[in-house]
Amino acid sequence: MEAKLDAILRSLEGLRKEQDGFEKKLESFEGKLNNFKSRMNEFESKIESLDRKLDNFMVETGNGYKFVKLDRHKALYEMIGHRNQNHIYRHH
């Protein structure tokens, strides 16, 4: 009888250790998920910022919107936030 109880106690202890391992993996996963969510929020805000910048290069026409005609390189650099690199445009 005592041997059976010892076996059950050892089995329970093994299950507790296994549960602890799962909990640590879950905590790690939750941390990675929160990191991912944070990076997604940053990405979404960059997309929204680019979208607003893109609006600056569009004009409304009778049929919707079209891009205003400008130097494509300058427009691209302004859209990705390199406004202070004016020397890039001088050679075009």
What is the tens place of the pLDDT at every residue in 40-82?
Answer: 999 999 998 888 877 776 666 666 666 665 555 665 655 555 5
The whole-angstrom separation of Cα 33 and Cα 21 is: 18
Report the share of the chain in percent with pLDDT over 70: 60
pLDDT band at 11 (very low <50, low <70, confident <90, very high): very high
Which ranges constitute the DSSP H helices of the chain?
Answer: 2-55, 72-79
Where along the chain do its domains lie? Answer: 1-49, 56-92
